[in-house]
Amino acid sequence: MMKTHYMKIGFIVAIIAVCVWLIWPLQTKIRRGLDLQGGIHIVLGVEQPPESEKTKSDVTDRALEIIRNRIDALGVSEPIIQKEGTDKIIVDLPGVKDPERAVEIIGKTALLEFRLVEEDEKKLSDAVRGETIPGYELLYQKERDERGILRESSPLLVKVEPELTGAGLTEAYVGYDASGRPEVNLEFNKEGAAKFAQVTGENIGRRLAIVLDGVVKSAPVIRDRIPNGRAQISGRFSMDEARELAIVLRAGALPAKVDIIYRQSVGPTLGKEYIEKSIRASLYGIIIVVVFMIVYYLAFGLLADFAVAMNLLILLAFMALFKGVLTLPGIAGIALTCGMAVDANILIFERIREELRQGKSAKSAIEAGYHRAWTAILDSNITTIISGAILFFFGEGSIKGFGLTLTIGIVANLFTAVFVTKAIVDYVIASRPVEKLRI
C-alpha cells in the first residue's frame, strides 16, 4: 500500500518537473497577444462593384477569407480579422516583426493572368509612341539588375483578354531554375490544366506573358504543348520575394482591389502601468484566498493552495507546449480557473466534514468525501469545459485566448483537485496514524 502512495507522489513530482521545464523561461515559450505586446492595426477598403448590396457583401466576404489565408501563411499568432459594414475589413496583427512586409502581402491583389504577346514590331513601336492597338495593351516587365535594383525592362504588347487566369491554381511553391535562382512553380486543377494544354498547343512558337497585377513577371516562348498543368514564374527574384509571391498565389487573388484606408502601430491596450496594476491586484487576491483557505481549513487549506499552484503550473506548461498566446481575456481565464480550483477543494473538504460529523474514522471520511464530491465536481466543470472549447474553436482573437486558458485550466483542475490532493492525503494517512482529523 505504501509503495502505491510513493508511486503517486513520484508521478506528481515528475509532472511538476516537466511543467517547470516547459515554461522556463516564460518569455520565450508563451507568446503574448496584441493587447499585451502591441502590433499593427489596419483598416482595408474593398472596391465594390456597382451591383446589389448582397453582391457587395459577397465580394468583401471573399476578400476577407483570402486575407485570412495569407495571414495564416505568415504565421501571425492570434490575429483579429473581421468585416465592418459591407466594404471594410479590420485587421489586427500582434507582435509582427516586419510590418511593411505584412502590409504588402495583405494588400497585394495577386491577379495572375497568362496573356499572348504580339510579336509584330510595328504594332509594338506604335504602342510605345502612344497609339492604341485594338485588343492589346502595353505592359512592362520588371526585373532586378546586377545591383538588386528593380527596373523596368523592354515593353511588351500583350492581349487585353487573358488566355488563362490563376482561378484554377491549386498550388504555388518556391523552386530553383537551371541557374540555381529562385522561381515559383505553379500547378493547376483538372480544368485549368486542360485549358493550359489547349493554349500552349495552339500557340507553339509564340511568347506567353505571365502577368501578375498588371506587371509582366516573365514571357517565355512556348516550345511545346504542356499537358500536365504546370508552369514556372522565373525572374531575378530574391528568396523572400519568391516566398511572398507563392503565399499570395496559394491564397488566391483578391476578388477586387483593396486599399489601406488606415494603418496604425499600436501599443498594449492597457499600457505597461495598468498591466502592472492588474498583476498586483491579482496577486493581492491570490494572497487573500491562500490565507483564507489556511485559516478556515488548516492543513487541508494549505493542501488546496498547493493544488491551485500546481493547476496554474500545468496551465502555463500546456500553453508553452502548444505555443498558446496570452491575452488579457486569457489572464481572466487563468484567474477564473484558479477560483474554480479552490471551489472544487471546498466541495471535497465539506464532504469530509459531513462524514466526520457522522462519526466515521479519518480514513473512511476521506475516502467517502472524495468519492461523493467527485460527481458534483465533474458535473459542475464539464459544462464549463464545453463552453471553453466552443470559444476556442469558433472564437477569434482574444476570445480564442480566453477559451484556451479556461479549457486547459478546468481540465487541470479536475486532475489537481482530486488526484493530487488525494495522493498526498493518502500518503500522510498511510505513513502515520491519524486518530483525529482537523478540517
Residues 189, 272: Cα–Cα separation, whole Å: 51
Residues 79, 39: Cα–Cα separation, whole Å: 10
Query: Residue 369 is placed in which grid cell?
Result: 468525501
Mean pLDDT of 389-408: 78
Query: Considering only 118-122, 367-371, 393-397, which range has the smallest mean pLDDT?
Result: 393-397
Other C-beta atoms lying within 10 Å of the C-beta of residue 69: 14
CATH 3.30.70.3400 residue ranges in the chain? 39-107+254-266
Residue 27: predicted pLDDT: 46
Residue 102: predicted pLDDT: 77
110-247 is classed in which CATH architecture?
2-Layer Sandwich (3.30)
Residue 159: predicted pLDDT: 92
The length of the chain is 439
Sign of the C-alpha dihedral computed for residues 325, 386, 343 and 422 taken in this order:
negative
Residue 137: predicted pLDDT: 92
Please identify, in words, the CATH class of the domain defined by 2-31+270-431.
mainly alpha
Helix axis angle, 239-251 relative to 53-74, nearest 10°? 140
Bond preceding residue 433 cis, omega within 30 of 0: no
Bond preceding residue 25 cis, omega within 30 of 0: yes
Element (H, E) at 92: strand 88-94
Contact 408, 315 (CB under 8 A): yes
CATH 1.20.1640.10 residue ranges in the chain? 2-31+270-431
Phi, psi of 208 (to 5 degrees): -115, 110
pLDDT digits (tens, 9 = 90+) for 55-84: 555 778 878 877 887 777 676 666 778 888
CATH of domain 39-107+254-266: 3.30.70.3400
Residues 64, 254: Cα–Cα separation, whole Å: 9
Cβ burial 70-88 (10 Å sphere, 16+ → b, else e)? bbebbebbbbbbebeebbe
Contacts of residue 285, defined as CB under 8 A and 6 or more positions apart, other chains included, come to: 335
CATH 3.30.1360.200 residue ranges in the chain? 110-247
Look up residue 168 and give its DSSP letter: G
Which of the pair, 19 or 366, is modelled with greater confidence?
Answer: 366
pLDDT digits (tens, 9 = 90+) for 113-133: 889 999 888 898 888 888 888
Residue 157: predicted pLDDT: 92
Cβ burial 292-316 (10 Å sphere, 16+ → b, else e)? ebbeebeebbebbbbbbbbbbbbbb
Residues 134, 159: Cα–Cα separation, whole Å: 9
What amino acid occupies position 436?
A: K
Which of the pair, 373 or 269, is modelled with greater confidence?
Answer: 373
Query: Considering only 3-7, 16-20, 237-241, which range has the smallest mean pLDDT?
Result: 3-7
pLDDT digits (tens, 9 = 90+) for 400-438: 778 888 888 888 888 888 888 888 888 888 777 777 777
Q: What is the mean pLDDT of the chain?
A: 78
Look up residue 117 and give its DSSP letter: B
Residues 69, 61: Cα–Cα separation, whole Å: 13
Look up residue 162 and give its DSSP letter: -
Residue 49: predicted pLDDT: 65
